[in-house]
Chain A
Amino acid sequence: MKMSLTVNGTRHEVDVRPTARLIDVLRDELGLTGTKEGCGEGECGACTVLVDGKAVASCLMLALQACGKEVTTVEGLAHGGELSLLQRQFIAHGAVQCGFCTPGMLMSAQALLMENPTPSADEIRTALAGNLCRCTGYSAIIAAIRAASGREADRADGSA
């Protein structure tokens, strides 16, 4: 089945089976391997991407459901070779250990900040409820998102 997907601002034509999931197309057809598959059941959030600005589990969405919509993956956060403020704050706060959950964490956080630029810690926890981290815990991740939101200006731009 031929379909057209717009990912990170670029339109792609792909020919895949109708039941191909969005994550399959992103990783296997477009080579965007930043999006990870953990559980494959929508429980872990590692596969989170944005569709029309909303966080979705790309393992539970068919690619054809994303046709005509704007898909943003973790590769779309950096611009001109420079990481986004959110990504820089994850690094600055040590919010990454093995890194497998990080793309999903970043995309859930990005969706939150687009909708609510100054979320409270509780709002961040709610937004990340669908993202599991098995290494580092959540405190550093929440601190990084708060810093990126400007809630903790003293920690902005890497001075954790």
Chain B
Amino acid sequence: MAVREARTMAVAVPTTRDDLVVALGRATTDTRIIAGGTDLVRSLRVPGDEPDLLISLGGLRGLSYVRLDGATVRVGATTTFTELQHDPVLREHGLCLALAASTIGSAQIRNVGTVGGNIANASPCADSAPALVALGADVTTVDGAGHTATRPLSEVVLGPYHTSLACDEAIVEFSFPALGPTQRTAFTKIGSRTAVTVARLTCAIVARFDAASGILEEVRVGLGAVGAVAFRVPEVEEALRGQRADAEAAALLAEGCVRAIGRSIPDRPTLPYKQHAAVGLAYDTWNALGLCPPCAPAAHDDRPEEVA
């Protein structure tokens, strides 16, 4: 591991997990951990805001992977969005995360940005967050004492740019139950343009479906960019469990998402827009699941004030 003092800032570029622990052991609240850097580099340029120690994860080749471990998908923290987008294991067992990765920024951003950085940065509009939420992902970290801990994503991301990660704690892995052949998943996003855009609203769905009966056995819905953090929508998930996968289910999904957004950002000026957009996005996500012939909202569904 290279540790070089430069003026008042030290830099650590660990190449092994043991080196990472040593570097984390030196961390203070002024330390920054850099993975891809697509969010962090801009803030590092703020005068007077330089960290005392910069720990680069770029040398840790062993943190970039997607693998199937029994019935669990494991994703290394420094796996880039480009790698997630194309990974065959992820496309088979966690497609919504691959789809979310494909909508992030540009090729230039996806080639460098990492899933660990996306979550540690804790932007409310982080594209990977609703997908990881819907997949029921856990986060594994390591700290400066060498301790490894695993906890749900919802216990890591606490608010806008605010996490429960200690200053000497780095995300090393995400894990979630592998999706099987009876499960479908989709991810959709609305931004101000089709590429290189900050999400205005994102939706990820994971649905277990009995093809013989046409019944939804379990549905998980994650919404992003409509609150402090990405969140599940238990009300919708309950309503859809046991429902036939048809246009009525799509309407339940849309109405439930609109209500959830109303609860999440009741005072936000963008609430009317987001509720209006959520109807279309919910239908787009539902249709992407491919569980029934494509359906569209009835005219009255398009007026958020009637279902808010």
CB-nearest residue of chain B to A57: B108
With a cutoff of 8 Å between Cβ atoms, the chain B residues found around residue A54 in the complex are 82, 111-112
A60 touches which of B6, B13, B37, B54 (Cβ 8 Å): B37
Stretch of B40-48, B152-160, B261-269, B294-302 with 4 or more beta carbons under 8 angstroms from chain A: B40-48
CB-CB contacts of B6-20 with A at 8 A, as 1s and 0s?
A: 110101010000000
Chain B residues positioned under 8 Å from A111 (CB to CB) = 107
Once the chains bind, are B112 and A61 in contact (CB under 8 Å)?
Answer: yes
Label chain B's interface by main secondary structure.
mixed
Q: In the assembly, what is the distance between CA of A130 and CA of B194, in Å?
A: 11
Q: Bound state CA distance, A64 and B58, in angstroms?
A: 9
B window 158-211: CB within 8 A of A: 194-196
A134: Cβ under 8 A from any B Cβ: no
Interface-forming stretch among A29-37, A42-50, A81-89, A151-159? A42-50
Q: CB-CB < 8 A to B58: which residues of A?
A: 65
| Interchain CA distance A42-B41 in the complex, whole Å | 10
- Minimum CB–CB distance from A79 to chain B (whole Å) comes to 24
Q: How far is the CB of A31 from chain B (nearest CB, A)?
A: 22
Choose among A17, A19, A57 the residue that contacts B112 (Cβ–Cβ < 8 A).
Answer: A57
Query: Across the interface, do A60 and B107 meet the contact criterion of CB distance under 8 Å?
Result: no
Which residues does chain A contribute within 8 Å of B109, judged by CB atoms? 42, 57, 60, 130
Q: Given A62-B34, A129-B196, do A19 and B45 touch, yes or no (CB 8 Å)? A: yes
User: Which residues of A are found within 8 Å of B44, using beta-carbon distances?
Assistant: 19, 62
Q: Identify which of B11, B108, B109, B196 gathers the most chain A CB atoms within 10 Å of its CB.
A: B108
Taking CB atoms and an 8 Å cut-off, the chain A residues in 99-157 that contact chain B are 108, 111, 126-127, 129-131
User: Are A64 and B106 in contact, with the CB atoms below 8 A?
Assistant: no
The answer, yes or no, to whether A13 is at the interface (CB within 8 Å) is no
Cβ–Cβ contact A45 & B106, under 8 A: yes
Known: A19-B54, A42-B105, A130-B105. A62 touches B37 (CB 8 A): yes
Q: Which residues of A contact B108 (CB under 8 A)?
A: 42, 45, 48, 55-57, 60, 108, 130
Min C-beta distance of A5 to chain B, whole Å: 14
**How far, in angstroms, from A60 to B104 measured CA to CA in the complex?**
15
CA distance A18 to B7 in the complex (A): 9
Chain B 52-67 per-residue mask, 1 if CB under 8 angstroms from chain A, else 0: 0010101000000000
Which of B7, B37, B54, B107 is close to A126, meaning CB atoms less than 8 Å apart? B107
A-B contact sample (9 more), CB < 8 A, given A42-B109, A57-B109, A130-B105: A18-B11, A19-B41, A55-B107, A55-B111, A56-B112, A62-B44, A62-B56, A65-B58, A126-B195
Q: Which residues of B contact A (CB under 8 A)?
A: 4, 6-7, 9, 11, 13, 34, 37-38, 41-42, 44-45, 50, 54, 56, 58, 82, 105-109, 111-112, 194-196
* Chain A contacts to B: CB under 8 angstroms: 1-2, 17-19, 21, 40-43, 45, 48, 51, 54-57, 59-62, 64-65, 67, 108, 111, 126-127, 129-131
List, sorted by A's number, 10 A–B pairs whose CB atoms are closer than 8 Å.
A1-B11, A19-B54, A21-B41, A21-B45, A51-B111, A57-B108, A60-B37, A60-B42, A60-B109, A62-B44
